[in-house]
Every structure is written in structure tokens, then in C-alpha cells.
Structure 1
């Protein structure tokens, strides 16, 4: 069975907060984004950079995937962030507001010049109308780019859109990026949910994201981890159905039957492939 890297829950952690970086070692997140951008005041950028890079290089976060979000390409801190991240060798460098393939190429060159190991990938944040319209080019720009991260707060701001249940104003852009991810074989993560006290609304948005096809969701608070992990993991019913689909298909093939049904539904190769993906994810998350 093909193994998968689960990214159901990807939690932002403020890079200037040493207690938060320590706490992250105990949280049930699939991946962490140690943040040098929004969560860090300008006068704390350099200290946070040293702290975050030391944390990422420490190897003390267990099986959690550890990434570093650098400051944006147009900021005074971006180049130094990339050099330091390349030397630290995290699982990935998360880059805000990526708008073109050429920007991906520049990020890749900077990581290579900084001596980043091959394991350090690029996660590109798509946050603007320009990025939505060029998502396929961005996603295809580099093999080192493995994950697209939706920046829904900035996207809503640039669209002059309101945050409403169901996210209608954002769905066009989200769909374009999902198409780009699937066309290029990349992972794609849904954006954050801002109201940390509204766990019912948060869980509904997790379900919407999974139904759309996102691989997981970015989070801003540890209280969001449990519902996110649960929603983006295969349910016991899905696991059982997937096993029965594979068994029925294999049995029919051995018997030379051309028609396979499970629960009254016709089963084809595409259903078997999806069933295998479900079981691989279930195995990866320990279900």
C-alpha cells in the first residue's frame, strides 16, 4: 500500500513566542508552520528568525512536519529569512503571496544557493486574484514545490468580499487552485478559520473543505486540531467500504467477472484507486 504524508491539520505557531514553540512539541498536529511573518512584530524579526531556525533544526518535534513561513518577497526580511531557513533545513519553506512561476524559480534558486537539503520543499501561499488566475503555472513551476496553501484572509481582502457561511465569494478562487493542484499532483491546504470560539462553524468549514477535495486545513489555534483531524481522516464507514470495494474487485477479477457491485453501486477502477488512497491515509494517521 502506498504511504501518504498526512497533512490534515497544519498549525501556525508564532515564531517570537518560545513557549508556543515548546508547546507545539506536544500538540496532535500533522504539520507546523513556525511563523516569521504575520505573528512577529518588525522589531522582533531577527530574534524570531534565530529561534525558529533553531527549533526547525532541532529534530525535537517527533513525526510532525516542521516548516518555516518566511516574510514576503517584497519585504526587507525575505532574503535573510530564506538564507537562514535553507541552512536550518526544515521540511519546507512556506512563502506568502506567491503570484507567478518566476517567483517560484527565484525562491528555488535562493534555497539552492543557501545550501538547503533536497528534503526542504517549497509551500506556496496563494492569496491574491493574480495568484488564482495563475495557479496552474505556479503549481507546475518546480518539482521542489509540493504544497499550495490558500491564504483566504488576504484573498477576501483583495476581493472586497465578506466572510459568510459557505464562503460563496471565495469559492471561484478556491476551485481554480484545487484544479491546479490536482492537475500537477500537488497537495493543497485550505485557509484558516478566524473565530476560534466558533467550533461548530469551524467544523462545518472543515467538512466543506474536505468535500471540495482539500487535503487538510491551516489552523490558528490548538483548539481547532481535534475537529480538523477527525474531519479530514477517513471515517470507520469509509474504511470499511474501501476494504469491501477492493476485496470485491479482486474477487471479480480472479473469477473473470466484468461487473462488480458494492452496496448496489457499480465499481470501476477509479473507485478502487480511491479506496486504496483512503486506506493509505487511514494507515498514515494510525486509524
Structure 2
């Protein structure tokens, strides 16, 4: 059983994941451009964005790009094809030894899918730092979210993050992705609760209307308010809004520092609740504040 993480150890491991941009692995120019984009996470895609006849070329190009590096502070994640497809085993064999920051496994529906993927990573001499991320995009994943999250308790599974696959979920459930995503709210929140219960990050699904900036901003704000760490993106034009919305504002950081400083005063160290600017704050608000400050500091280090 994995040991529970302390607040201080969790804060040391924080990485901003405000924006996670899908890049098709079959497009060599896109892979090169990725090194210059202001994305927190680059998801080099071998699955949905790549036609069957281009799978082998995409695998070769992505493996070479990961080996070459040069992505700076960006987190590099490769979405492979599932192990139950004709391309999955070859994807794991080629990509895992290259050592991306994470392998993103599609259509995870049970803890067994996590264990199988982790075993494949172990068999391909994957560097220990490479984590496993899970696409949550099937009806079974929605029903099994809590069980899938329990896989994080075993360090051998490397599980670190859930990624919502709302387009696939819409296809499989026949629910419509309308403004406000009313049909999807229970599933989004179930996956978020499962992620947080097991110490995982979770990234919201994509917004398909690239030219609708107002709609995109509204959905980013919804995801932020729900508690997501960031949003998956399908076009570089969406980066600026996602990075803005999922970053703490200057006012939030200032208030977080004020709460932390208030409880750090010698006369307040034994107190559980205090007043600040006419509002009651508790020690849990200091914990929240420390994470807010840590995220803001991590973002500032990205340059």
C-alpha cells in the first residue's frame, strides 16, 4: 500500500497542467512547432489523431522527437494506442524506452487496464520517472472511476493523472455536448472525486469549436470551478485562455499569502479559526493557500 502523501511532499511535486495540447504524431512540422508553444503539457498523439495507415510513421516520428528532447519545461506525454489494438504493443515497445514524462493510455475502463499497461511499461525498460496517465472516456470508466483510482495505491502502476475524453464519452453514451455540459456534469464530478480521493491530478476534456473563444473561456471557467487542474486542447490558439483561466489570479495569490502569514504569527499558531478582512478563515484555508502559492510559483518558473 502506498504511503499517504504529506502536504509538504505534495507541494514539492506540483507541476502546472493548465493547458494540455494534443499534437498529431504523424505531423512532423507540428512536432517541431511543439517545442516553441506555451503549453504546460504536450500530448503527442498516436491514437485518435492518426489514421491507421500513418500509425507506423507517427510512432517512429514521436519516438525520435522524445529521444531528441528540446521541449524545455513542457511536460511531454505520449498517447499510445490501446493494447487491444493492432498498434498498441508496438507503441509501448517504441515509446516507453524513449522516456517521455508520461504514457497516456486510452479507453481505460477498469483497474486491470492500468495494471496491464504498467506491466507493459515495466517489460520495455521504461525509465522510472515516466508516469502513467489514464483516459476516462467510456461508460464503464464512469461507473468504475473510484475503482480505477485505487490503482494509484500501488507504486508499480505509476498512475498519476486522469484525462477526460468527453468526445468519446459523447459518442458512447449518445449524450450531447451542449453549452454548460449538463449531461456530463455527473460524470465529470465523479471522475474528479475519484482522482482527488487517490491523490491524482485530472484534466478536463476538449472544446471542439475552435473559433468560439467566448464558449471556450466559459467552459474553461466551468472546469476550473469544478476543480480540474487544466484543460486538454486541440489547437494552439486555445493556449492563452487556458493558461490564464487555470492559473491563480494575483488577488488569489495575495490573499493566500495573507492567510498563511496570519496563521504563522506566534500568537495565532494554536488557533483554529481567525478573522481576515471581516471573513472567517480556518487552518484548512492556510493549506489551500499554500497550494495556491505553490502553483503560482511553479508557473512563474516556467518563464
Q: TM-score per shorter chain, which class?
A: over 0.9
The alignment status of 1:229 with 2:238, answered yes or no, reads: no
- Tell whether the 8 Å contact from 2:263 to 2:269 is kept in structure 1 after alignment: no
- How many Å separate the matches in 1 of 2:19 and 2:270? 43
For residues 87 and 176 of structure 1, the distance between their equivalents in structure 2, rounded to whole angstroms, comes to 33
Counterpart residue number, 1:278: 292
Q: Tell me whether 1:184 sits opposite 2:167 in the alignment.
A: no
Q: Distance in 2 between matches of 1:275 and 1:264?
A: 18
SS at 1:62's partner residue? Answer: coil
Determine if contact 1:9/1:228 at 8 Å carries over to the other structure.
yes
Runs ≥4 residues deviating over 3 A: 252-259
Preserved contact between residue 262 and residue 268 of structure 2 (Cα < 8 Å): no
Q: 2:79–2:104: 8 Å Cα contact kept in structure 1?
A: yes
Which residue is equivalent to 2:52? 42
- Look up the match of 1:121: 131
Give the Cα–Cα distance (whole angstroms) in 1 for the partners of residues 160 and 271 of structure 2.
40
Secondary structure at the counterpart of residue 265 of structure 2 = helix
- What is the RMSD computed on CA atoms of the aligned residues? 1.4
Q: Does 1:17 align with 2:45?
A: no
Structure 1 residues 101 and 253, CA gap change in structure 2 (3 angstroms): farther
Residue 160 of structure 2 is aligned to residue 150 of structure 1: no
Partner of 2:280: 266
Deviates more, 1:134-143 or 1:196-205: 134-143
Q: Is the contact between residue 273 and residue 283 of structure 2 (CA under 8 Å) also seen in structure 1?
A: no
Distance 2:291 2:273 in 1: 22
Q: Would the alpha carbon gap of residues 253 and 213 (structure 1) be closer, same or farther in structure 2, given more than 3 Å must change?
A: farther
- Asked whether the equivalents of residues 73 and 96 of structure 1 are also in contact (C-alpha less than 8 Å), the reply is no
SS of 1:285's equivalent? helix
What stretches of structure 1 of length at least 5 have no aligned partner?
none
Residue in structure 1 matched with residue 3 of structure 2 by the alignment? none
Q: Distance in 1 between matches of 2:121 and 2:286?
A: 39
Give the equivalent residue in structure 2 for 1:196.
210
Alpha-carbon distance between aligned partners in 1 of 2:105 and 2:74, rounded to the nearest angstrom? 19
Contact 2:23 / 2:44 at 8 angstroms: preserved in 1?
Answer: yes
Q: Deviations over 1:17-63 (max 9, x none)?
A: 01000111110000100000111111111111010011112221001
Report matched runs for 1:66-145 at 5 Å. Answer: 66-142=76-152, 143=155, 144-145=158-159
Instruction: Select 1:56's aligned residue among 60, 66, 81.
Output: 66
- Rounded to whole Å, the distance in 1 between the matches of 2:269 and 2:32 is 56
CA distance in 2, matches of 1:140, 1:195: 34
Larger mean Cα displacement after TM superposition, 228-237 or 52-61: 52-61
TM-score, scaled to structure 1? 0.97
Q: Which residue is equivalent to 1:206?
A: 220
Unaligned runs of 5+ in 2: 1-7
CA contact (8 A) 1:57 1:88 kept: yes
C-alpha separation in 1, matches of 2:87 and 2:73: 29
Q: In the alignment, is the contact (CA less than 8 A) between 1:56 and 1:67 conserved in 2?
A: no
